[in-house]
Amino acid sequence: MHGASAIDSVRTAGGRAVISRVLAMAILLTAAMAFRPGPAAAQTPPSFADLAEKLMPAVVNIATTQQVQGRNRDLPQAPPGSPLEEFFREFFERGRPGGPPGSRRATSLGSGFIVDSAGFIVTNNHVIQGADEITVILQDDTQLKATLVGRDDQIDIAVLKVDPPNKKPLPTIKWADSDKTRVGDWVLAIGNPFGFGHSVTAGIVSARARELSGRYDDYIQTDASINKGNSGGPLFNLDGEVVGVNTAIIAPSGGNVGIGFSIPANLARNIAEQIKEYGRVRRGWIGVQIQQVTDDIAENFGLDRARGALIADVVAGGPADKGQLRKGDIVLSFNGREVPDSRKFPRIVAESRVGDTVDAVIWRSGKRSTLKIKVLENQEPEKQNAALGQGGSGKKPPEPAQPQPSTIDQLGLTLSRMTDQLRERYNLADNVKGVVVTKVTDGSVAADKQMRAGDVIVEINQSEVASPADVQTKVKEAQSQKRRSVLLLVDRQGDQRFVALRIQN
């Protein structure tokens, strides 16, 4: 008994010693890991105070006034105690002296930032749109009258100009290369939310390349608190550079819910510099219609995967036409920038310098080629559709015999040769050639791709067709080659697009 007790005592004491040593080592290891510098720890400061203090002098509040009719609308109020409360009362509540009867002065608040010490300020177009007067308020509450240099409603950027007080250079902030911004990076937003000037919020980049409603949308999404009044203000990285211009929020409740959107700095800077130089934006244009490259389309063109922008049509005499870009080419890169998809291509072209001749790398006939294309300025011309073939006096007499429509079961399409009656029924232009779709089978692959009666099949697998028999022949050729789909070039009221249809057995 005593021997056993002695042995147990030794084992217990030894176990405690071992446990103590293990715990000590674990504590030291945990402490070492906690204080080990890593990428996140190295980039995250213990405080944003020094950075905010450095940046705030170059961030401004913007107040605009506009003469509007009627006094019965609910009038927005500056928050009680806000630095802008007196300013708000002066410009809003008292009305405009000498204004027309029944009118009042409406005020809106926003943000901006100084990009040039001579007094050039970047903000959102919607902050100053329709304003009769624009006032810029510096951090020290100095109020400066601003003039509008120019604006762009497509990207929602405007540039203002103020005269620096006492002709002293104003503090400025630098643009960042927003292409280097990564999801998860820390960012700071400084602005004028709800009239509380020079408020600082912090968060991270939540997502990139977000689209809302515009054709050039490429927003940075952030969870840094952005509210009404932050519009036009800067989004900073931890180097104190502007990575974006705060523009939009998703706010079902009317307040911040952690989803805000900023125009990337590279896009905003390009627009702002053009406005400074020309007073307007000069967007690049090459004269093409494009569409998305799907997996089926990539397979039909022999491309390794879905990427690039497919040329659906080329404007006659335009830059692309002169540069030998053809319908059916897939643009893989333009002006040294990769084209990942058709959504990015218009932005890449628009951001190209007007007057430059650039390289366009294309996929044609199963191989890569490089073309030289001169970029011209986009004048936003109205689309010129072809004439509808209604000319002449009276209706054309019917043909003595009408061709019988044929159904291509593999595609779910009923087709007919082009006739004058079909041109009249579907308002098809005289210069449109091909095979007319007269019916689309419900539940077919053609219905899934939203084809409809009145569409004209111009080509199949890049070969012209003139009859339903031509279409059937091309389908059978594709089947004999073990191809799973055929590629149609479809004309719809002057708009042409490629449609890849799976062959149904």
Marked catalytic residue, from 111, 152, 156, 199: 156
Which of the residues 231, 262, 342, 485 is marked catalytic? 231
Q: Could you give the CA distance from residue 231 to residue 187 in angstroms, rounded to a whole number?
A: 16
- The pair of structure tokens assigned to 244 is 């974006």
What is the pairing mode between strands 357-364 and 330-334? antiparallel
Active site (annotated) includes residue 152: no
Strand runs labelled E in 93-165: 103-116, 120-123, 133-137, 143-152, 157-161
**What is the C-alpha R_g of the chain?**
32
- Tell me if residue 154 falls in helix, strand or coil: coil
Residue 7: count of CB within 10 angstroms of its CB: 10
Helical residues (DSSP H) of 387-486, grouped into ranges? 420-426, 445-448, 468-480
Residue with tokens 């089926």: 296
> Is 156 tagged catalytic?
yes
What 337-341 contacts at long range (C-beta under 8 Å, 24+ apart), as own/partner pairs, is 339/307, 339/308, 339/309, 340/307, 340/308, 341/292, 341/293, 341/306, 341/307, 341/308, 341/309
Spatial distance between the Cα atoms of 465 and 331, rounded to a whole number of angstroms: 25
Could you say which of 82, 103, 116, 126 is catalytic?
126
Instruction: Based on the residue annotation, tell me whether 141 is a catalytic residue of this protein.
Output: no
Place of tokens 């890449």: 348
Question: Burial, 349: exposed, middle or buried (Cβ in 10 Å; 0-12, 13-18, 19+)?
Answer: buried
Nearest partner of 453 among 462, 465, 441, judged by Cα: 441
The answer to whether 282 touches 270, Cβ cutoff 8 Å, is no
Residues annotated catalytic, as ranges: 126, 156, 231
